[in-house]
A and B are shown apart, each in its own frame.
Chain A
């Protein structure tokens, strides 16, 4: 297949369309706007609909309505917009609607800035809205993965009738890299629960309200059962972990920096590796726990106050030290900066 040098944000839209998505509801925000712009351009060419909503609140609710019709639909935003969407996301999770949400994270809190951060980890991975729900969260670290994981997100969303999220940072969204686009999905799955505007609809109901506590508990238990099944979808990448003493953990743009760190230090003969979670939920806890048996220490690097590190600590469960290095405000540390930190804090 042909190769194209393309922005991560644009690769998302092309991937989505190849995955059979034909509905996009969005609202502009840097650094995610190219997604809406590309959707506005391409959707009409493939028999799709692009609609710029009046807000992120409206766009997630349009998505809720459209997904009720069983088609593939998506929205995209960046951190402040995602905060606004949270109520709607909770409704989609409660109603078990398979939607795809893209979050190109920027600096916070508040209006913050537009530089890359990873401080939406908690609000996406832990469920930023109300209720006991889980989102499938995929974290690409290249333009290629922006395409591939978006396609996967649609597949997993449909497979489990659950919202799925692409969680990327400003750099992964803005960066251009070559992408090889895979073949298009020709037919999306039929959904017998979805509305079709026909006589059968009277038997269907899209809703998240259950007044009776017993019924609502049952619904919650059913969701938790589903989440257990989704755990099998865990995805991660290991790089030189086999004989490592120190394993670095990071996702998104950070994992790219960590890759450089490993390359540089391996060249100097140090036993260092990288574990990159590709799915942030389900989280590769098992793999991290296994590594904890044989390595000496972990170093988690993230662009936040320490959100991913909590999940790593839960997985390691006190067996090995979990060190932490972070930057906030939109600063991406250089490999040299991280190496200096390692040299200062990690005793071989």
Chain B
């Protein structure tokens, strides 16, 4: 052991960021934060990890921890230090990341953030200063305030009926599987302070060894908030806080845990198109004859039940249309409404830039169930086309000013052995009737959007059945 015990190198020699006196902290006389700072700084020195340490300053009296610690510093929003710590640790797995938090910060506003960081087993070290009060804002009640303890927002003492019991953070977090080490210690007499010193070192050691999450809860004096002298305050920790918050190790798997090495992300920039499933062949549009005028630049609305493959049908048209060199757009009905209910999509194929992708006046309506036909029939432009599944819709469209094509798509699909490919039968019928897309283009593009490749041949068969039905 060093022969001289003095201010650690892991403190800035001069607190440049601080206004006023730059050689003393901003903490009140007798505040526990300062002592804990010293124990942490000493450990950073002794373990020689200062250079790669990044410290989260919370919101609370230790908001200015960054004045003092001569490390990489990030000041965090109230309660979110574990999330911020997660972010930076994921960028620098080899760094030593410390989340320093008070009880309001960690146990109240940031309650979920600490639980989730602990549960993910982030390889970070949390120093949790439990002083049973909101120090910084002037002594209001904290989640850890003792029953009966008077604060400025529990002026008659914390009442169980109104505010519930104090939150036991260490015990709670110890129920999780991931945390490696959780201990509660107290900054009281020399013996207990020495235990704090050891706990601080152990927690950091666990991170150095890449073993995972650790948290040290430190019962700590707030003489100002408690309205006591520093000496009284320490006694109060022993007499009252330690009764409510028993000291001890609540979780320690450090001996059995296997260290997982800190692997820094490798920035991969080669073969990105391949990795991102982006085709890197130059695009070449398929040439073909122009369809009859009334079928050009179609604006399609396709509608039916969820599960009928409505969206996929639209996609098939859009995908093949793109291959033909058309401008295309496809908009689905989206979200939970799709499930079990109706589904529809809007598809545009056009020779020029597509304005509204929303099809309010379709030139083609594909209706795969009766409600869809009833709902959208009126929207179709005069001279437009309505294709409907006549195996499910027993009344043909009433409109007399449009072209109507009924096809028993579901029946045909059923005969092929899979009712779910009725959409492809319709697709075949649509391209056969309008000659907007040659069969071969559809066949070539099917594999792009049909996820299960072994189903492609069956889908092609369905398309052909649709074509065949129309051509008869």
Contacts and interface: CB of A to CB of B under 8 A. Distances in A.
Given A31-B335, A67-B87, A205-B66, A176 B330 contact: yes
Contacts of B88: 65-66, 68-69, 195
Given A14-B276, A49-B90, A61 B265 contact: no
B322 interface: yes
A201 B80 contact: no
Given A195-B72, A197-B72, A206-B74, A184 B330 contact: no
B417 interface: no
Nearest to A45: B275
Contacts of B54: 195, 197, 201
A61 B80 contact: yes
In this complex, which of A45, A53, A87, A201 has the most chain B Cβ atoms within 10 angstroms of its Cβ? A201
A91 B51 CA distance: 26
A17 interface: yes
B85 A65 contact: yes
Contact of B356 (A49, A170, A208, A259): A259
Interface string A163-201: 000000011001111101100101100000001111101
Interface stretch (A1-9, A148-156, A278-286, A288-296): A1-9
Contacts of A337: 360
Interface of B is mostly: mixed
A211 interface: yes
B357 interface: yes
B49 to A, nearest CB: 10
A17 B272 contact: yes
B12 interface: yes
A334 B358 contact: yes
Contacts of B116: 53-54, 58
B52 interface: yes
Contacts of A64: 74, 76-77, 80, 83-84, 87
A26 to B, nearest CB: 13
Interface residues of B, number: 76
A68 B75 CA distance: 11
A145 to B, nearest CB: 13
Contacts of B425: none
A323 interface: no
A313 B201 CA distance: 62
Interface in B265-292: 265-269, 272-273, 275-283
Contacts of A23: 87, 90-91
Interface of B: 12, 17, 19, 50-52, 54, 56-57, 63, 66, 70-77, 80, 83-92, 94-95, 112-113, 115-116, 265-269, 272-273, 275-283, 315, 318-319, 322, 327-332, 334-337, 353-358, 360-361, 448-449
Question: Considering the complex of A and B, which 6 residue pairs feature the smallest CB-CB distances, nearest first?
Answer: A65-B87, A260-B355, A201-B72, A2-B279, A334-B360, A207-B75
11 contacts: A5-B318, A17-B276, A45-B275, A63-B87, A64-B76, A171-B358, A195-B72, A197-B72, A198-B51, A259-B355, A336-B361
